[in-house]
Structures are given as C-alpha cells and as structure tokens.
Amino acid sequence: MALTTESAPIESLANLTLNDEGENEEDEDTGEEQDGSEWDGYLPTDERIYPKLVKAINSTDRSLRLKAANKIRRLLQSQRRSIEAVVQPVIDSGVLPAILDKLSPDDPEFLFEATWILINITAGSTEQASKVVESGALLKLIPLFPRSSDSIKDNILTTVGNILGDSKHLRQVAIREGGVRLALDVMRAPEDHSASCVASAAWAMATALTLEHGGFPDDGLAAQMIPVLTTFIQNQRDDVSESLVETVRALRQLSIHRDVTTAISESGVTCQIVRLCTEEDRQWERLEFMADHVDSCLSRKPTVVGLGLHQPRPPKYYPHKPSRSSDTQPLSVMASTTETIPIESLPNLTLNDEGENEEDEDSGEEQDDSEWDGYLPTDKRIYPKLVKAIHSTDRRLRLKAANKIRWLLQSQIRSIEAVVQPVIDSGVLPAILDKLSPDDPEFLFEATWILINIAAGSTEQASKVVESGALLKLVPLFPRSSDSIKDDILKTVGIIMRDSKHLRQVAIREGGFRLALDVMRVPEDHSARCVASAAWAVATASTPEHGGFPDDGLVC
C-alpha cells in the first residue's frame, strides 16, 4: 500500500506568484487549501505544470526555488484528481531531475518540500514511481538520511517504502540501492530515532515483504531481517505502537515461508507474541502471525485460545500518510477481505462467443486494471460470459469462472463496495451457492473466498449473502471441508456478525455463532489458523458498537 502526504497546513511560506520574466511577486499564504480553480492555473491545457514554476525550480535564487517546490508539493496534495492524474504533469514537465539535483542537507526547507513531492510521485502508478528511481532518487536520499531532521528522515523512509511496495522490479532495485538496509539500520537502533521514524522504517520493512509481488527475498536478506525484527518485538515496551504492529506484520509474512520457521522459533519471539495476544489493541496482526507460524511449526503449538482475547481491530495507517487511493483498502486476511496472494495455478478462463472455454496458461502474475475492466462492461455488471460459465454443466468451466470472479474481487481496482456490486447485480450469487459441495473442494475454495469479499462490502451487500442462504449452506459443509475452507467459512461468519446488529442476529440464529463456539470447545481438532478465526468470530459477535449484547442464555 503506497502512501501519500495529506493536504495539511505546513510552515507558512509566501505564495509564489511569477511575473512574465519569471521573477517573484509575493502575496501572503493564508494556510488554507485552495479550490480546484486555483490549482487549474498551474495546469495549462497541455497538462504540464506552468512553465514559470519549472523555470523557478531551475533558478539560482534559493527563495524562488523553495516557493516553487512548495507550490508543486501543494499541487500534488490538492487531491482534486486521482494521484496518478496529478503526478503525470509534474513528471512530464521535467522538474524531477532539477529537484533531485538541488537536494542538500544545507537547505532543510527545500529538502522537506522535495521529499514530500517524492512521496506523492512514488504513490502514483508503477511507471510514475519508476521515474523517481530512474532519476537516481534513492542514491541521493539514502546518503542524506543521517544528516537530516526527524521529519525529513520520516519522509525518506516513506518514499523508500512506497518504492519497495510498488512492484517486484522496483523492490529489487530499492533493495540493491540500500532501501531495506536503511530501514533495518533504523530498527536496529530505535532509541536513536523518533517514534514516527521507527514506525515508518517498520512499515517499509513490512511492505518490502508484501506477498502480492511474489519472489520472496533471498535467504541472505531473510537471515538479516529475522534477528532485527524479532529483537525489536522482544525489546518493544509499547504494546500498541505502530512500529510494533508493522514489525509483527513483517514477521508474519516471513513466517509464511517454512524455510525461515526454525530461525523464528529459535529466536524466542513466539512467547512474546502469545503474551501480546492478550492485549486489547492490535491483536489482529498478532493473531495472524500466530496462526501462520503455528501452522508452519506443528511441533511447537502455543495455545492462542483461552487467553482472554478481545475484539481485533483492523490495521490503521499513520494519520499523516493516507493510502495511495482514496478508496477503502481491503483489510488483512483475518479481517474483511482476502489478500491478493498466489493460489493453486488454474488456467485463465477465456470464453468464445458461444460461452465455451478457450484455455491459456495463468502466469501467476497480477493482471493490470485494463484486464479486469474487460470483465466490467459499461453497465457495471460482470461480463455475461462469466455468468453463463457459472451456470454451466461443465465443472471445469464453472471453476475457472469462479476463479476469475474471485480475482476480480481481489484486484483492488476500485473500493471493495464498487467491485462487489457488479457481481451481485449480475445474479451469480445464487448460482455459486447452488453449486457448493464437499465433493468439489476446488470450487468450494473459490466460492468461499468470493463470499468473504462480498460480505466485506457494505451492509446491503453483506445482506445479499445472508438473504441468498449462504450461512444455511456453509455451516453444514464445515465438518466435511478442508482446514483452509473451514477457515474461510469462519471468516465469512465473522464478517457477517461484525457488520450490523441485524446481520449478527441472523448469523446467530442460523448457527454461525454456535459453529465458532464448537471449534473453540475442541481446538485440538482444528488448525491453529482455524481456531484463531473462530476466536475472532466470537469476539466480533460481541462488538459493543452495534448494541444489544447477546442474551444471557447465549452468554452462558
């Protein structure tokens, strides 16, 4: 998840007003956000920033350069368009090399503005983030880090994190140019840095390990990361700090790979995380770690049940760094939606005009937005051929169509609600539920992930899952399902119970709450992840925000 800077007031600087000769004419900065028309003045019809701003950035007048950088930064923060749309004119105007050329520890005000500009550009598309890397930004920023103020250090780490999390290619470049090493150095000596700086370093580490790009870092890099992450967790005194949350998230992603499980276990960090599971705040990431780690290390099975677990809370990103998109981001795998991670390889579904299957191999790579837009015609319903395939008597065709729909829901090209609605409107939900069977575990796997994502939408969308009879289908299937499908069923139940008071009552009546309790009565009969999901479902059913706590009989 790339981060952008907020539209927030900063140190007061006179507005930059340039006359025809490119000289400065000052007027007072009110500190207020300008409306769209004000920013339109910096974007002529050719969609490049005003030439006078470009001229000012290249000026020998330090004051003029500073005010021009402030204008460009505030333009990027204006958020009157998507981040990609406002970033491109800045890139096309050719100011990036000039900005990087002027970076110096002797001009901290310009460095502050410049690093905020770089945060916003790296939060754009992969092509836009690539321009920052190709311009040599990392090679300029990392040597400046030790001589910079805390706020600038924080900005540098955020820029590094945005690049590390953007794509597999940019991650490798950032690793090669010292981005991960910088974050590790901060985490080795957290006492030497501000809390915000340490949190940004931990976030950069976690985003470097994101699963969606594949290509897990090599063993040498993993070996460097594990002692830093585990030592940080063991020495952390603030159990609810952002840095701890991000460090546990990073370690969780490392723990998914069995080749590092022994090293994590030998560090002794597991006992610390079990202790943290009893804390009220931030259990979400800790429970995920425990589930993944225990599944990977069956000989060491710490109990995560019966520790007085409280309601988990979804991850919260730093207030001064909103996400790349204004759309709602999906939560973690223990929360609302499924992660975009590689699954069992299935051939892509390609349908001819008759709705018959034409196979092409699935590369296992994330499709770009245009690929997914192909399944959402202008009427905002999924492509009719996919609907036809779900109703097909050909089991393989149904499976591939379900896989396509699930990937569409995970594509994150829009908010979760916006991508769920076309699936609902296309009428495939009853057909998917009708095909659920323990005799077809592959289709059941795809279907339960689809249900997780739909239930994670709005209350009206989650209601469609319940009204279609999903719980009455899923609960009886639970005993005959694999561990991964059991886990998905419990997540679906938990999301429904968390959504609203009404849906909670329906889920309780239809056996969802009883199912979670049954798992917790005999945790030894289920996987650690399954037990953690059951505990979360029970906790989320008791959320106080909907009121009307379950009756005394249910409590007993």
CATH number at 285 reads: 1.25.10.10
How many other CB atoms are found less than 10 A from the CB of residue 78? 18
Tell me, yes or no, whether 309 and 404 share the same domain.
no
Same domain as 180, residue 126: no
Taking alpha carbons only, the member of 131, 246, 261, 262 closest to residue 199 is 246
Q: ∠ CA 218-224-228 to the nearest 5 degrees?
A: 140
Q: Does the residue 341 lie in any domain? A: no
Tell me the residue range of the domain where 87 lies. 1-135
> Quick check: is 52 in a domain?
yes
In a domain, 157, yes or no: no
Q: Distance between CA atoms of 294 and 439, rounded to whole angstroms?
A: 28
CA 436, 439, 440, 446 dihedral sign is: positive
Give the global pTM: 0.52
Looking at residue 330, its pLDDT comes to 27
pLDDT at residue 50 in the model:
72
Distance from C-alpha of 477 to C-alpha of 472, rounded to nearest angstrom: 9
Is residue 441 domain-shared with residue 366, that is, in the same domain? yes
Reduced to 3 states (helix: H, G, I; strand: E, B; else coil), residue 177 is coil
Helix count and strand count (H, E) for the chain? 30, 4
pLDDT of 544 reads: 58
User: Cα dihedral sign for 31, 37, 40, 41?
Assistant: negative
Please list the pLDDT of the chain residue by residue as tens digits (556 residues). Answer: 566 554 332 222 234 444 433 444 443 343 344 444 444 455 544 566 778 888 899 899 999 999 999 988 888 877 556 777 788 888 998 999 999 999 999 999 999 999 999 999 998 889 999 999 999 999 999 999 999 999 999 999 999 999 998 888 999 999 999 999 999 999 999 999 998 899 999 999 988 887 666 666 677 788 888 899 888 888 876 655 778 888 888 887 777 655 676 777 778 777 676 666 655 544 444 555 555 554 454 333 333 332 222 223 222 222 233 332 323 232 222 233 333 322 222 234 444 433 344 443 333 344 444 444 445 544 456 667 888 888 888 888 888 888 888 887 876 555 677 778 888 888 889 999 999 998 898 899 999 999 998 998 888 999 999 999 999 999 999 999 988 899 999 999 999 988 888 999 999 999 999 999 999 999 888 888 888 888 888 888 776 565 655 565 555 5
- Is residue 336 in some structural domain? no
Let me know whether 3 and 128 are in one domain: yes
Same domain (yes/no): 310, 395: no
Helices 242-255 and 195-208: angle between axes, nearest 10 degrees: 20
SS3 26: strand
CA angle 239/243/249 to nearest 5° reads 90
DSSP per-residue codes, 352-363 = -TTS-EEEE---
Contacts of 211 (CB under 8 A, 6+ apart): 253, 256, 339, 340, 341, 342
- Give me the pLDDT at residue 304, please: 31
**How many CB atoms are located within 10 Å of the residue 21 CB?**
7
Q: Are residues 178 and 320 in the same domain?
A: yes
For residue 154, being part of any structural domain is answered with no
What is the separation of C-alpha 543 from the centre of its chain, rounded to a whole number of angstroms? 24
* pLDDT recorded at residue 351: 41
Q: Which of 135, 155, 180 is the last residue of a domain?
A: 135
CB 536 within 8 A of CB 286: no
The amino acid at residue 274 is V
Q: Is residue 145 part of a domain?
A: no
71: in domain: yes
320 lies in the same domain as 352: no
Asked whether residue 371 falls in the same domain as residue 491, the answer is: yes
Answer yes or no: are the C-beta atoms of 541 and 526 closer than 8 Å. Answer: no
CA distances for 528 relative to 309, 335, 339, 521, 533, angstroms: 15, 16, 19, 13, 9
pLDDT of residue 210: 75
* Chosen domain end from 135, 151, 179: 135
Q: Kindly state whether residues 90 and 230 are assigned to the same domain.
A: no
Pair 38, 131 in one domain: yes
Task: Count up the domains in the chain and report the number.
Answer: 3
Backbone angles phi, psi at 349, to 5 degrees: -90, 120
Q: Give the pair of three-digit tokens for residue 266.
A: 């030998």
* 382 lies in the same domain as 479: yes
CA angle (65 as vertex; 64, 70 as ends), nearest 5: 100
- Tokens representing 492 are 């679906």
> Position of tokens 């909907």?
546
Find the farthest-apart pair of alpha carbons in the chain and give their distance in angstroms, rounded.
80
**Any idea how long the chain is?**
556
Q: Are residues 34 and 66 in the same domain?
A: yes
Cβ 293 vs Cβ 258: under 8 Å: no
- Any long-range contacts for 239-244 (C-beta under 8 Å, 24+ apart)? 239/276, 239/279, 239/281, 239/282, 240/279, 240/281, 240/282, 241/195, 241/199, 242/195, 242/199, 242/202, 242/203, 242/316, 242/318, 243/190, 243/195, 243/198, 243/199, 243/201, 243/202, 244/202, 244/276, 244/282
Residue 89 lies in a domain: yes
